[in-house]
Amino acid sequence: GKTIEDVVKRISPSDIKDMSPDVISNPEVARFFNQGQLRSIFNEGLSEAFAKAFPKANELGFTVAGTADYLLSSPGWASIISGLETVAIKEEKKGEQPKEEKAGEQPRVTLAGKYAGVPPQGERKG
Is residue 69 very low, low, confident or very high in pLDDT (cuts 50, 70, 90)? confident
Q: What is the mean pLDDT of residues 48-56?
A: 94
pLDDT score recorded for residue 125 = 53
Instruction: Write the pLDDT tens digit of every residue in 80-99.
Output: 876 544 454 444 444 444 44
% of the chain with per-residue pLDDT over 70: 64
Sequence-ordered list of residues with C-beta below 8 angstroms from that of 46, at least 6 positions apart, any chain: 16, 19, 21, 24
pLDDT score recorded for residue 1 = 86
pTM score: 0.63
